[in-house]
């Protein structure tokens, strides 16, 4: 047990940290600290689903948690993300801070920035900033965890509902000046250790029905974004193909430096699929922890390990269109002006 508490739980923020570390190395100091020059205003806003250790990431100047009482200025951006969050209000209500509330927090930040910097400077800051979204997986997985819910809903309609609600959030941010939006595609949900465990056949294979929803979302969402871009001037977006990135490592872990691609390092039950790592599940304090987490693609029932996120970060930062398109994150961060995309 003590060994667990000495370990860092990997999450989406590990690769955000790596992305931002790369950014800090590349960017000029004036770009990060100078908010009085219009060409240097840049911030990073994170939305969606993340497990965040605020103490571990307190020294990241670009993305302090919104609820951090010491975070008052916001000029480098804000982390609004919440572990377990979804796009829909019915996804983990009372457990996570959903997109509706995250958007409300963003609007409070926007008003605060306008008061502190003035309308012109604040608008310029928001228009040059990057808005990063990692959300949607929980919205698609929850119906399969509750058979009564699963029986009542139409899968295609559900996907359109999630996409419609997400683009509505994007539109609200656009109205406040947001122009550059980066999204992480839904991963292969049916191949997570937890869903392998939950599959009623019990054969340990991927739950293809859940992954099919992820595929449908990933196919339809870029179409919705392009329609949005056609309608709203200056809107730029990019989507990282997390489905393929993770599926490749599940199918061929040794190619990417892992020995195990199906089982979780930390958890309980078959495949480590019970989310009990660190005593996280009520009524279940016991869990198993592997000797070498680096050998496992998945650290716990839902999340890849730190090495995997490091690989994702590098690919998303400077990868080609097979990984992220139409722009990689380096292009989004390196240019403080929207005009840079036109050349």
Buried/exposed code over 131-145 (b: 16+ C-beta within 10 A; e: otherwise): bbbbbbbbbbbbbbe
Cα–Cα distance for residue pair 193/180, rounded to 1 Å: 34
Q: Which of 14, 139, 300, 301 is catalytic?
A: 300
Look up residue 97 and give its two tokens: 């801070």
Q: Which of 92, 134, 217, 303 is catalytic?
A: 303
Compute the C-alpha angle 98/101/104, nearest 5°. 150
Active site residue 92: no
Cα–Cα distance for residue pair 135/182, rounded to 1 Å: 11
Element (H, E) at 267: strand 266-267
Phi, psi of 199 (to 5 degrees): -55, 125
Look up residue 94 and give its two tokens: 């009372």
Per the DSSP assignment, residues forming a β-bridge with 264 are 298
Q: Which of 50, 82, 268, 276 is catalytic?
A: 50
3-state SS, residue 132 = strand
Active site residue 76: no
Active site residue 146: no
Look up residue 22 and give its two tokens: 């790369």
What residues act catalytically?
50, 300, 303
């Amino acid at each position: 047990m003590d060994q667990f508490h000495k370990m860092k739980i990997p999450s989406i923020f590990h690769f955000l940290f790596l992305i931002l570390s790369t950014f800090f190395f590349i960017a000029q100091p004036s770009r990060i600290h100078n908010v009085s020059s219009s060409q240097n205003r840049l911030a990073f806003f994170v939305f969606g689903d993340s497990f965040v250790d605020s103490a571990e990431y307190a020294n990241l100047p670009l993305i302090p948690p919104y609820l951090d009482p010491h975070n008052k200025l916001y000029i480098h951006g804000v982390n609004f993300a919440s572990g377990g969050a979804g796009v829909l209000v019915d996804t983990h209500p009372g457990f996570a801070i959903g997109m509706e509330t995250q958007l409300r927090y963003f609007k409070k930040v926007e008003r605060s920035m306008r008061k502190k910097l003035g309308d012109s400077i604040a608008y310029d800051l928001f228009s040059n900033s990057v808005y990063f979204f990692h959300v949607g997986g929980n919205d698609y997985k929850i119906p399969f965890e509750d058979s009564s819910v699963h029986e009542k809903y139409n899968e295609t309609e559900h996907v359109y509902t999630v996409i419609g609600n997400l683009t509505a959030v994007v539109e609200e941010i656009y109205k406040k000046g947001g122009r550059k939006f980066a999204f992480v595609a839904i991963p292969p949900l049916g191949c997570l250790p937890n869903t392998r465990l939950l599959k009623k056949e019990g054969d340990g294979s991927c739950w293809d029905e859940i992954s099919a929803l992820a595929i449908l979302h990933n196919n339809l969402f870029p179409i919705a974004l392009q329609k949005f871009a056609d309608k709203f001037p200056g809107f730029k977006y990019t989507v990282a193909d997390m489905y393929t990135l993770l599926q490749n490592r599940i199918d061929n872990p040794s190619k990417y430096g892992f020995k195990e691609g199906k089982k979780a390092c930390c958890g309980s039950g078959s495949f480590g699929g019970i989310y009990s790592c660190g005593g996280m599940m009520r009524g279940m304090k016991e869990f198993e922890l592997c000797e070498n987490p680096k050998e496992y693609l998945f650290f716990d029932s839902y999340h890849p390990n730190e090495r995997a996120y490091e690989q994702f970060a590098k690919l998303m930062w400077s990868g080609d269109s097979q990984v992220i398109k139409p722009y990689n994150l380096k292009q989004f961060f390196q240019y403080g002006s929207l005009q840079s995309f036109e050349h």
